[in-house]
Chains A and B, each alone.
Chain A
Amino acid sequence: MRISTSTIYDSSITGIQDQMQNLFTVQQQLSSGLRINTPKDDPVGAAQVVEINQQLAQNDQFNTNATQAGNILKLQEASLNSVVTDLQDLKQTTVQAADGALTNSDRAALAANVQEKLNDIMNLANSTDGYGGYLFGGYKGNQPPYAQSANGVVYQGDYGQRLAQISTGRQIPVTDVGADVFDNIKNAAGNFTVATGSATHPTNSGSGTISVGSVANAADPNIATPLTVQFANRTVVNGSSATYPTSGALSFTINGKTVSSAGPLADANAAATLINNTAGTGVTASVVNGNLQLVSASGAPITLAESASGNLSALGLAAGTTSPSLVYDVVDANTGQAVKDAGGNAMTNLTYTAGATITADGKSFAISGTPAAGDTFSVRPVTQQSLFATLSQFAALLNAPVTTANQAAYNTSLQNIQNNLDNAIDHLSTQLAINGSRQNTLNSTTSEDANNKTLYTAALSNVQSTDFVRASTQLSQYQVGLQAAEKSFMTVQGLSLFNYITSF
């Protein structure tokens, strides 16, 4: 093949430039430490670098989040521990308060101590988290969760629980709602709240109101049963006491329908059965406190008349017409079944007397005003009591003078408070356990984060870092190549026939 002179020069230059290019690339890799200096050096690797960097940054951020969450949880733990310590001190105080030898002034001193602890616990419940919020205030960051009001210490935060993102798709609660921590504590003593209306009949149309009420018998087994008082217009005839067995056969009419017995009636139940078995009377008979009771559920009047003189009175009834009146039933709100009164009678068809005390399942309350038929009232036990309410009661109890008359009540109340304090310590210990498990979770994610960081960093290094051994070897290799290209060019370009032609 012919070689033209320009080809010799051109290809030598190309060869030298190629070698220099290689040398430059390796030199750049060595000096920057990066194998990928622009995405074209390794397009797939460059995309991986973007993604791994993203993962790394996110991992670091999750670690930051976890650290912050851990700080808040530690603050919460410290607060709760202090509260528990206070509560244990207060339990000691209940033991001291039980000492019969204490004078009223001794107790007042104890009361001051209780009040101090109460304030201390309130301060702890109002602790801030160091990041602009309150530990126990939910989402309300602008006011302390607990405030002193006319009704004692009340929760004014909300029910939001703050979460922290500690890994992709994993959130951990970092705060707890104060109402759940300090208020939602099982109450040893019976207590209840009342309300007009009920779940199924929320709005009353009458003017009836229900009083706050009180605990009549804290030991009643059904003290925790929620009650509904339902009003209705029914006609009720309550018989008076009668002597059984009756003498001979009886005959009378109810709403014009004749009721007659073949022989003497053994007791009120037999009389009720007789009436109920007579069709068309429009009434239902039952026995209340041993006496006969006739009810027209539809509210139609009940007219009683003698077929033979003295027959009605033998059953404790009287001739005449009874008009419908406002009556009420007391039923278990959960089951809808009528509750039994102290005498074991179902509390149904009770005549309404405004303002009269109603006692059911150990709870006393009164309804006044004029309820309308269909109106309902709810009586609901309070099974939870705020820690602050318990402490306020304790202070009030200690401040009130103790006399021989109320000594027993004092002891009962003190016992209840002691039980409530136990419940509070249990409850807070559970909260502490939850807190501890959250911190454990955080610790494990933090170490996961650290592991991930190592992995991501290694991956990043694998993808984008220069392999120094390889690059250094290449550097020497290209150096030799360049020298060879230069040397060979010098040799080739020195060859020319003209050098040897001396005579023309």
Chain B
Amino acid sequence: MADIMTIGLTGLGAAQASLNTVSHNIANVNTPDYSRQTVLQSAALPQELGNGFFGSGTQVQTVARQYSQFLQNQVFAAQTASSQLSTFSTQTDQVDSLLADANSGLSAALQDFFNQFQNLSGSASSVPVRQSLLDSAGSLTDRFHSMSENIASLRSQVNQQLTASVSNINTIAKQVANLNQQISDLAGGNNAVPNDLLDQRDKLVQDLNKEIKVSVFQQTDGTYNLYIGTGQSLVVGSNAEQLQAIPYANDAADLGVAYQTNGTPVLLSESSLQGGNLGGLFNFRSQVLDPAAKSLGNLAIEVARQFNDQNQLGVDLNGRPGANLFTSVDPLVQAAATNTGTATLGVHVPDKSSYPTSTFTLSYDGTSYKLTDTANTDPATNSTTVAFNTTVTAGAGSYPVAGGTTLGTLNGVTLMAPAGGLADATAAAAMINTAAVPGVTASATSGRLVLSSTNGQSITLTDAGGNLASIGLVAGKTASSPTTVTLDGQTLTLSLNQAMKTGDSYTITPADPMTAASTINLTMTDPAQVAAASPIAATPAANNIGSGTITSGTVTSGLPLNPNLTQPVTLTFINATQYTVSGAGIPSTATGPYTYTPEATIPSAGAGWDNGWSVSISGQPAAGDTFTVGPSNNNTVDNRNALSLAAIANNKTMGGGTATIADSYAQLVSLVGNQAHQADLSNTAQTNLLQQATQAQQSFSGVNLDEEAANLLRYQQAYQASSKVIQLAQTLFNGILAIAGQ
């Protein structure tokens, strides 16, 4: 009965194999990514004994793992998305708490700073109030610094994590490549597969997905090829590529991920590297950290610009024109290295304009000036011509001027009255035009000489023996008037002290918002330098007989300041309803008379003169009454500019004129808060998805101890039964032997 014995033995072996496998399952109940294994059994080939096929027991086909590539891929996908969101959320939370903290946030410092100007307007001459203002401004810049340091440290944390993540990816990729090698070696040829190695490799791929999204392609030899980004191979068979974290060429502060191509590292685009920690870090940097840094920088620029400009429009406690409160944020002007001229280009951003973001160039080709926006590549819209005009309007002079009189020089050309003398301004204009001074043309308007030039050329006059005054001119140099240009929605005020040479150019670079918050500094140290007062004063003449009163005057000039701002101008009433205007900066054509309207702004729109201030007169002035607007003098409790400084808090200058500085900060808080909130929600959702995918995968592949306990019993019984079969075979054999022995 050898057959019974053999059949029993096959059953015994199969039961033992199953018991082994069940034990293996129980042992690995807590092994991550372990797939439950089962022994696949089948009936052994039957024997034909003439009357039929008789079974010959069982045979163990293989040990299979309960594994679904589909479910596993779902886990990979869920894992990489979950890691990305989790990293993004964790990082964003740091910026979120940075803005929330009353001590590290900007809100309180801004409020205190703004309020100091209100206090200043109440006690303009008080040095303690001014000192406290400067202290508060210092605290504000400290806030900006500490916030930008925090942001910078988050940026370097991102870099550190990127480096760690890349090194992790490289390690895992190598391990996967090794496993690929082992798996193809071990599996070689036969159907059996090293299940535990496959599980280990899946575990590694899942770990890899925690760092970056990886596409898996299983090859026929059982190896995995792994690809990242837009198809860059990370692992092919037993070869693993190595990634590198290196800084960007144009942004040394930020690291990117580079892939070796022909031995040279090539940076991969961040948008192609999604998923995992890397994707989360990249998203955090581009969607939260950079916008927050930029927003903070814009706030710093706006604070510096508004308060610097307004302070410069006033005069300080010592009667001097106001200086910058903070580091200047005027765009940086750099002359091209090839420039041959020595012109100085002044650039200012007008008060109510948005701060520019593009880099511009101003060039002169010999016939016109051109401003180009280098950020705009469309030649149809990226440049505009700029006019720099110079005008000198002469006084009345004392005509006639005797023939042969040497008057002086105009831009180096000597002016001499012709033989017949100069009867009037028209004759003087003709004389200058005949002298052919390059670039300067002369004309006569209302009996006065007018000199004008274009293209930024300045007009320089020298006097000869006091004769220049006879044609109403004064020795000195007049530069072209500042001109305001708008290009691509960005506005600049440009001024040249002299003409540029042909072919010269200047680069105009606005302050960089990414660094502005760390570079803003309080430059004012002397509390007396805070310009609380206005540079102008309006005064009625002592012997006015009418009841007219004049307002203190408001500075309307932006920067650069109107050169005639503090030149005395006299408003004279020639009768009860009309007044004339005289003084420096008033063209001879614009002296009036103007009709008097009580409380109307003077100068009225289109009056033809503007010295950078406005006043209004009310009441009933009488003929002969005069009002003078001139420089203010020692007005220590003048708080006009302090009120203007305080009003900046409510000026909507940001976001294209829709938001105050505080609004803009609130927008930053809300932006980051929203990102963090969204990240939280997405992270929770994705964690649930991962959990579900893992449960589905575990439901299929995981070990259940109860099930294994039952199997243990089942295979134990099968083992015992097979033993009984062998025992039976022995008993039968012994029976036969006993018969034989009788």
Within 8 A of A (CB), among B104-127: 107-108, 110-112, 114-115, 118-119, 121-126
B residues touching A (Cβ–Cβ < 8 Å)? 29-30, 36, 92-93, 96-97, 99-100, 107-108, 110-112, 114-115, 118-119, 121-126, 533, 537-540, 543, 545, 547, 549-550, 552, 572-576, 580, 622-624, 626, 632-640, 643, 646-647, 649-650, 662-663, 665-667, 669-677, 679-680, 691, 694-695, 698-707, 709-710, 712-713, 716
CB distance from A174 to the nearest CB of B (A): 9
Interface contact B624-A501, CB-CB below 8 Å: no
Interface contact B111-A53, CB-CB below 8 Å: yes
Interface contact B29-A140, CB-CB below 8 Å: no
Kindly list chain A residues whose C-beta atoms are within 8 Å of the C-beta of B637.
131-134, 137, 139-141, 162
CB distance from B511 to the nearest CB of A (A): 24
Kindly list chain A residues whose C-beta atoms are within 8 Å of the C-beta of B713.
501
Interface contact A142-B636, CB-CB below 8 Å: yes
Besides the contacts A39-B676, A199-B623, A496-B706, what 11 more A-B pairs have beta carbons closer than 8 Å? Answer: A2-B707, A3-B699, A38-B100, A48-B666, A53-B107, A142-B634, A142-B636, A159-B538, A161-B552, A162-B637, A165-B646
Report if A333 contacts B (CB, 8 A): yes
Interface contact B622-A165, CB-CB below 8 Å: no
Choose one: B122, B552, B666; the contact of A160 (CB below 8 Å): B552
Interface contact B123-A132, CB-CB below 8 Å: yes
Interface contact A131-B669, CB-CB below 8 Å: no
Within 8 A of B (CB), among A84-111: none
Interface contact A5-B705, CB-CB below 8 Å: yes
Interface contact A159-B704, CB-CB below 8 Å: no
Interface of B is mostly: helix
CB distance from A376 to the nearest CB of B (A): 11
A51-B545 contact in complex given A164-B122, A165-B646, C-beta closer than 8 Å: no
Interface contact B545-A382, CB-CB below 8 Å: yes
Interface contact B673-A43, CB-CB below 8 Å: yes
Interface contact A141-B118, CB-CB below 8 Å: no
Nearest residue in B to A129 (C-beta to C-beta)? Answer: B637
CB distance from B649 to the nearest CB of A (A): 7
Report 18 cross-chain contacts, Cβ distance below 8 Å, ordered by A residue.
A5-B702, A39-B672, A40-B672, A40-B673, A42-B673, A133-B637, A134-B637, A139-B552, A139-B632, A140-B635, A159-B552, A160-B638, A162-B637, A162-B638, A199-B623, A199-B626, A496-B706, A497-B706
Interface contact B676-A40, CB-CB below 8 Å: yes
Q: How far is the CA of A334 from the CA of B672 in the complex (A)?
A: 70
Report if A413 contacts B (CB, 8 A): no
CB distance from B190 to the nearest CB of A (A): 30
Q: How far is the CA of A180 from the CA of B548 in the complex (A)?
A: 11
Choose one: A7, A38, A169; the contact of B673 (CB below 8 Å): A38
A160-B543 contact in complex given A46-B673, A171-B643, C-beta closer than 8 Å: no
A4-B545 contact in complex given A132-B636, A158-B537, A159-B552, C-beta closer than 8 Å: no
Report if A274 contacts B (CB, 8 A): no
Within 8 A of B (CB), among A146-166: 158-165
Most A-side CB within 10 Å, residue of B622, B626, B637, B676: B637
Interface contact A65-B121, CB-CB below 8 Å: yes
Kindly list chain A residues whose C-beta atoms are within 8 Å of the C-beta of B533.
139
* A263-275 interface bits toward B, Cβ cutoff 8 Å, 1 = contact, 0 = none: 0000000000000
Interface contact A14-B623, CB-CB below 8 Å: no
CB distance from A435 to the nearest CB of B (A): 17
Kindly list chain A residues whose C-beta atoms are within 8 Å of the C-beta of B92.
40
Q: How far is the CA of A7 from the CA of B112 in the complex (A)?
A: 55
Q: How far is the CA of A45 from the CA of B574 in the complex (A)?
A: 62
A199-B573 contact in complex given A43-B677, A46-B100, A141-B637, C-beta closer than 8 Å: yes
Q: How far is the CA of A325 from the CA of B234 in the complex (A)?
A: 114
Nearest residue in B to A1 (C-beta to C-beta)? Answer: B699
Within 8 A of B (CB), among A324-344: 333-334
Report if A200 contacts B (CB, 8 A): yes
Interface contact A498-B100, CB-CB below 8 Å: no
A57-B549 contact in complex given A132-B124, A199-B574, C-beta closer than 8 Å: no
Kindly list chain B residues whose C-beta atoms are within 8 Å of the C-beta of A164.
121-122
Choose one: A58, A68, A195, A334; the contact of B122 (CB below 8 Å): A68
Interface contact B673-A334, CB-CB below 8 Å: no
Within 8 A of B (CB), among A24-52: 36-44, 46-48, 50-51
Q: How far is the CA of A7 from the CA of B702 in the complex (A)?
A: 8
Q: How far is the CA of A443 from the CA of B178 in the complex (A)?
A: 85
Within 8 A of B (CB), among A414-473: none
* A194-226 interface bits toward B, Cβ cutoff 8 Å, 1 = contact, 0 = none: 010011101000000000000000000000001
Interface contact A40-B703, CB-CB below 8 Å: no
Interface contact B673-A11, CB-CB below 8 Å: no
CB distance from A58 to the nearest CB of B (A): 7
CB distance from A46 to the nearest CB of B (A): 5
A380-B537 contact in complex given A4-B698, A54-B662, C-beta closer than 8 Å: no
Report if A6 contacts B (CB, 8 A): yes
Interface residues on chain A, number (Cβ under 8 Å): 77
Interface contact B702-A199, CB-CB below 8 Å: no
Kindly list chain A residues whose C-beta atoms are within 8 Å of the C-beta of B670.
39, 43-44, 46-47
Interface contact A139-B99, CB-CB below 8 Å: no
Q: How far is the CA of A173 from the CA of B123 in the complex (A)?
A: 14
Kindly list chain B residues whose C-beta atoms are within 8 Å of the C-beta of A40.
92-93, 96, 672-677, 679-680
Interface contact B537-A37, CB-CB below 8 Å: no
Interface contact A57-B115, CB-CB below 8 Å: yes
Kindly list chain A residues whose C-beta atoms are within 8 Å of the C-beta of B716.
504
Interface contact B638-A39, CB-CB below 8 Å: no
Q: How far is the CA of A195 from the CA of B665 in the complex (A)?
A: 61
Kindly list chain B residues whose C-beta atoms are within 8 Å of the C-beta of A169.
650
CB distance from A442 to the nearest CB of B (A): 13
Kindly list chain B residues whose C-beta atoms are within 8 Å of the C-beta of A2.
699-700, 702, 704, 707
CB distance from B444 to the nearest CB of A (A): 23
Kindly list chain B residues whose C-beta atoms are within 8 Å of the C-beta of A69.
122
Interface contact B537-A139, CB-CB below 8 Å: yes
Q: How far is the CA of A75 from the CA of B167 in the complex (A)?
A: 76
Interface contact B699-A54, CB-CB below 8 Å: no
Nearest residue in A to B99 (C-beta to C-beta)? Answer: A39
Nearest residue in A to B553 (C-beta to C-beta)? Answer: A160
Q: How far is the CA of A380 from the CA of B710 in the complex (A)?
A: 125
* A457-495 interface bits toward B, Cβ cutoff 8 Å, 1 = contact, 0 = none: 000000000000000000000000000000000000000
Q: How far is the CA of A378 from the CA of B704 in the complex (A)?
A: 117
Q: How far is the CA of A43 from the CA of B107 in the complex (A)?
A: 15
Kindly list chain A residues whose C-beta atoms are within 8 Å of the C-beta of B107.
50, 53-54
CB distance from B112 to the nearest CB of A (A): 8
Kindly list chain B residues whose C-beta atoms are within 8 Å of the C-beta of A501.
709, 712-713
Kindly list chain B residues whose C-beta atoms are within 8 Å of the C-beta of A382.
543, 545
A193-B704 contact in complex given A38-B93, A61-B115, A139-B638, C-beta closer than 8 Å: no
Interface contact A497-B710, CB-CB below 8 Å: yes
Kindly list chain B residues whose C-beta atoms are within 8 Å of the C-beta of A131.
122-123, 126, 637
Kindly list chain B residues whose C-beta atoms are within 8 Å of the C-beta of A36.
100
Nearest residue in B to A175 (C-beta to C-beta)? Answer: B637
Choose one: B123, B572, B643, B666; the contact of A51 (CB below 8 Å): B666
Report if A64 contacts B (CB, 8 A): yes
A226-B705 contact in complex given A57-B111, A131-B126, A140-B637, C-beta closer than 8 Å: no
Kindly list chain B residues whose C-beta atoms are within 8 Å of the C-beta of A404.
none
Kindly list chain A residues whose C-beta atoms are within 8 Å of the C-beta of B673.
38-43, 46-47
Q: How far is the CA of A142 from the CA of B632 in the complex (A)?
A: 14
Q: How far is the CA of A200 from the CA of B700 in the complex (A)?
A: 107
Kindly list chain B residues whose C-beta atoms are within 8 Å of the C-beta of A163.
121, 639-640, 643
Interface contact B100-A37, CB-CB below 8 Å: yes
Report if A403 contacts B (CB, 8 A): no
Report if A362 contacts B (CB, 8 A): no
Choose one: B114, B576, B635, B709; the contact of A496 (CB below 8 Å): B709
Interface contact B702-A65, CB-CB below 8 Å: no
A497-B705 contact in complex given A38-B673, A159-B550, A199-B572, C-beta closer than 8 Å: yes
Interface contact A38-B96, CB-CB below 8 Å: yes
